[in-house]
Amino acid sequence: MRFIILTLFPEAFKSYFDISLIKRALSKKLIKIEVRNLRDWAKDAHKTLDDRPYGGGVGMVMRADVMDRALTALKSKIKSQKSKVILLTPQGQVFNQKLVNKLADYKTLILICGRYEGFDERIRKLVDMEISIGDYVLTGGEIPAMAVLDTVARLVPGVVGKFESTVNESFSDGLLEYPQYTRPENYKGMKVPKVLLSGNHKKVEVWRKQQALKRTRKRRPDLLR
C-alpha cells in the first residue's frame, strides 16, 4: 500500500516513520510512503501558497491553484484506480476504526495536511473525502495524517505480526477490549481473575466477551447504539 503525504513540513514525519512497526513495514516494502512538499508546486519566486481572504478577515487562506497543480501531478503517476485523496480538516467526517477498515482496501491514499487559517473552499472540490481526527483543532494536518497512515498501515497484511494481532483489540468487533493480565498473579493484593488461571478456554472466551460488553456499556455506551 502506498501513502503520499502532501505537507508544508516534510521534516515532521521523519522520526515517526523511523521507529517500530512502520519502520519495519517500510523496510519489508509492505508499505511505501512519499512525503511531498506542497511548496514544490508554488509558481512564483517566493513560493507563495497562501493569500489574504476575499471579504477581509484575519489569517491567510491556502490557495486552490497550487493544490490543484500538486494533485494533478501526483494523480498522474498513480496507475491503480483504487486511490483516494483525503483532506485532513476539523470539518471532516470524524475518524474511527470502521473508516480505517474501509481505507485499508485502497492501494494509494493521498493525505493533504492543511496549515494556515484555512483552505480556499474550492480545494474541497479537488478531494474525495475530508477527515477529522476529533472535535478539537490542531495547528496543522500533520498529526492527523500520521494517525490515518498509522491506523491503516496496521491493517496491511504482515505489518502487525501475529504476536501483536489486530484480531482481538478494541473496536475490532465494535467493542472495547476485555481486561488483560500477566504475571505476577497477585500484585499488592490485586489478583488475576480465577477464570484466567483455570485453563478452560471456553470459559475464558465467554468471560472475555462479557467483560468487553460490560466495559463498553460503562465507558462507551455510544458504541452499542
- Per CB under 6 A, residues contacting ligand ADE are 88-90, 114, 132-134, 136-138, 141, 144
Name 12's bridge partners: none
Shortest distance, position 86 Cβ to ligand ADE, whole Å = 10
> Smallest gap, in angstroms, from Cβ of residue 99 to ligand ADE?
13
For residue 28, count CB atoms less than 10 angstroms from its CB and return exposed for 0-12, middle for 13-18, buried for 19 or more: exposed
Nearest CB to ligand ADE, comparing residues 63 and 160:
63
Q: Shortest approach of ligand ADE to residue 88 CB, angstroms?
A: 4
Cell reading at 101:
477498515
Q: Closer to ligand ADE at the Cβ: 65 or 130? A: 130
Task: Provide, rounded to whole angstroms, the least separation between the CB of residue 15 and ligand ADE.
Answer: 20
Pairing of strands 108-113, 83-94: parallel
Kindly tell me which of 58 and 137 has the beta carbon lying closer to ligand ADE.
137
Is 72 exposed, middle or buried, given 0-12, 13-18 or 19+ CB atoms closer than 10 A?
A: exposed
Q: Could you tell me the end-to-end alpha-carbon distance of the chain, in angstroms, rounded to an integer?
A: 33
Which one, of 144, 132, 123, 154, lies nearest residue 61 by Cα?
123
Residues in a beta bridge with 100: none
Alpha-carbon distance 155 to 29, whole Å? 14
Q: Of 131 and 175, which CB lies nearer to ligand ADE in the complex structure?
A: 131
- How big is the chain, counted in residues? 225
Whichever of 48 and 91 has its CB closer to ligand ADE, that residue is 91
Rounded CA gap, 186 and 183, in Å?
8
In the complex, the smallest distance separating the C-beta of residue 182 from ligand ADE, rounded to whole angstroms, is 35
Nearer to ligand ADE, 93 or 200 (CB): 93
> What minimum distance in Å lies between the beta carbon of 52 and ligand ADE?
21
**CA nearest neighbour of 3 among 166, 160, 162, 155:** 155
